[in-house]
């Protein structure tokens, strides 16, 4: 059954009134990993794995939430929204709290949500949940917040209620995606530029390792701290260095001993990854997918060896992709410690690539592989009301 009619029908069943319908996509990131919170560059796109929301004010003081896919409900007084022990509800409550922190009164509302973004696959289902509800509440409350404000609001919800000190990439991609385009965001100036992605030349194929490391959020926050430690050292020598975005490789190398081995490696990775995003965008403009793919492989090597956020399963998937015909590039994607690899594959080789990866994953690790081909779509939007027949 189609997603939006299913979510709308569930809403009517639970709440007996008419909702606003909103869709919020997940994202891929072609290159630029762990650079967003270092004020650097990222190159994401919104994809056709989405969360659909049905939301309506309910003229009461209570917020009533239904997680359609989990078959779970949660309710709370609108005046008493706090971080809860129910992890799925926190993504929504965090958004409500952000409206309230901005002095916007949030009355009681009903919300059903569900979707097709695989959980824990690194496609940012959490950002889609946050951005979709932020967009819906903005529409229902007539607050007219612009998309960048909604992205920041959703990011802060993640910081305060999911306790992950994420950068802005995922929320930005879910809200600013454009069909058929990838978008390079400068996470310091917040300027962004769209680049057409030619699906005749390559398709985005995702290989889901199936690994969901519980370490992911604690290690993520630790990486952020290590980068901050690196900045503190570099800033003493180069006062203009306020983030790793401002540092050069020779500067990082010059202070290797003072940084210490671990922090040195983290810094080296980030500085090199920023340069790779810049180079990759030039290759994309020139239509040179082989060169683009080389940047992806180098990104993976840095994430594996210097930033140390990969895992055996992801490394196997990238190594086997590198052997497969028709593959321009592959790397792990997102925060790491599991989730998906992103692969750029010649369109006429996609089927053989998937067969190759599936067989190799089974043979080398004894694991079943799930794969998705992703289409690049527009960011969060409202949907036409679904009329029940």
For residue 127, give Cα distances in angstroms to 4, 90, 172, 343, 380.
Answer: 19, 12, 9, 22, 11
Q: Which is nearer to ligand GAF, 21 or 298 (CB)?
A: 298
Question: For ligand GAF, which is the closer residue by CB, 67 or 128?
Answer: 128
Per CB under 6 A, the segment of 32-40, 95-103, 282-290, 357-365 that binds ligand GAF is 32-40
Cβ of residue 282: shortest distance to ligand GAF, in angstroms?
21
Q: Take residue 358 and report the two structure tokens written for it.
A: 């599936």
Closer residue to ligand GAF, CB minimum distance, 296 or 360: 296
Give min distance, CB of 144 to ligand GAF, in A. 26
- Over its C-alpha atoms, the chain yields an Rg (Å, rounded) of 21
Chain residues 112-171 in contact with ligand GAF, contact rule CB under 6 A: 124, 166-167, 169-170
Using the contact rule CB under 6 A, the part of the chain among 29-37, 197-205, 251-259, 297-305 near ligand GAF is 29-37
* Interface segment toward ligand GAF; rule CB under 6 A; list 28-36, 72-80, 110-118, 185-193: 28-36
Which positions from 291 to 310 touch ligand GAF by CB under 6 A, shown as an x/- string?
--------------------
CA angle 45, 48, 54 (to 5 degrees): 115
Of 334, 344, 348, the residue nearest 291 (C-alpha): 344
Burial 63-76 (b: 16+ CB within 10 A, else e): bbbbbbeeeeebeb
Shortest distance (Å) from residue 223 CB to ligand GAF: 9
What are the tokens at 315? 């490394």
26 lines the binding site for ligand GAF (CB under 6 A): no
> Which residue's CB is nearer to ligand GAF, number 66 or number 318?
318
Clarify whether 170 is annotated catalytic: yes
Residue 272 beta carbon to ligand GAF: minimum distance, rounded to whole angstroms: 14
Tokens of 316: 């196997």
What's the min distance (Å) between Cβ of 343 and ligand GAF? 17
Among positions 118, 210, 334, 338, the unique one binding ligand GAF when judged by CB under 6 A: 334
Give me 275's structure tokens: 């340069």
Tell me the HSE value of 228 on the side-chain side, using a 13 A CA sphere.
Answer: 8
Q: Please give the size of the binding site for ligand GAF, defined by CB under 6 A.
A: 11
Instruction: Give the footprint of ligand GAF on residues 164-203 (CB under 6 A).
Output: 166-167, 169-170
Q: Helix, strand or coil for residue 341?
A: strand
Among 4, 33, 52, 283, binds ligand GAF (CB under 6 A): 33
Q: Closest by alpha carbon to 382, among 71, 140, 162?
A: 140
Q: Which of 36, 110, 138, 170 is catalytic?
A: 170
Task: Give strand pairing partners of 330.
Answer: 343
The DSSP 8-state label assigned to residue 79 in this structure reads: G
Rounded Cα distance between 28 and 329, Å, is 14
Q: Is 376 left (phi over 0), alpha (psi -120 to 50) or beta?
A: beta
Catalytic residues: 170
Chain contacts with ligand GAF (rule: CB under 6 A): 33-34, 36-37, 124, 166-167, 169-170, 334-335
């Amino acid at each position: 059954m189609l997603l939006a009619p299913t979510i709308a029908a569930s809403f009517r069943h639970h709440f007996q009134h008419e909702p606003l319908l909103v869709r919020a996509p997940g994202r891929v990131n072609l290159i630029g990993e762990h650079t967003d919170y270092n004020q650097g560059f990222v190159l994401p796109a919104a994809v056709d794995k989405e969360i659909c929301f049905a939301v309506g004010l309910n003229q009461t003081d209570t917020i009533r939430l239904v997680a359609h896919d989990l078959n779970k409900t949660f309710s709370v007084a609108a005046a008493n929204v706090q971080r809860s022990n129910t992890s799925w509800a926190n993504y929504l409550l965090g958004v409500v709290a952000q409206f309230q922190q901005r002095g916007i009164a949030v009355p009681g509302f009903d919300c059903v949500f569900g979707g097709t973004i695989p959980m824990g696959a690194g496609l940012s289902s959490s950002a889609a949940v946050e951005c979709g509800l932020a967009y819906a509440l903005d529409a229902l409350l007539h607050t007219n917040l612009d998309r960048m404000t909604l992205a920041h609001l959703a990011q802060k919800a993640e910081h305060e209620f999911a306790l992950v000190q994420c950068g802005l990439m995922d929320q930005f991609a879910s809200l600013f995606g454009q069909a058929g385009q990838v978008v390079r965001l400068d996470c310091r100036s917040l300027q962004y530029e769209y680049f057409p992605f030619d699906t005749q030349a390559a398709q985005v194929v995702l290989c889901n390792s199936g690994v969901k490391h519980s370490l992911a959020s604690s290690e993520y926050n630790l990486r952020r701290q290590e980068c901050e430690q690196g900045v503190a050292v570099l800033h003493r020598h180069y006062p203009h260095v306020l983030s790793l975005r401002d540092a050069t490789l020779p500067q990082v190398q010059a202070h290797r001993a003072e940084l210490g081995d671990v922090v040195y490696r983290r810094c080296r990775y980030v500085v090199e990854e920023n340069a790779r995003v810049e180079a990759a965008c030039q290759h994309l403009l020139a239509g040179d997918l082989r060169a683009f793919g080389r940047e992806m492989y180098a990104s993976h090597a840095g994430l594996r060896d210097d930033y140390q956020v990969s895992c055996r399963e992801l490394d196997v998937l990238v190594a086997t992709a590198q052997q497969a015909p028709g593959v321009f590039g592959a790397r792990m994607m997102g925060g790491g410690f599991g989730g998906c690899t992103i692969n750029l594959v010649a369109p006429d080789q996609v089927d053989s690539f998937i067969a190759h990866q599936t067989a190799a994953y089974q043979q080398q690790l004894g694991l079943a592989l799930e794969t998705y081909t992703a289409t690049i779509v527009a960011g969060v939007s409202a949907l036409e009301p679904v009329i029940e027949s």
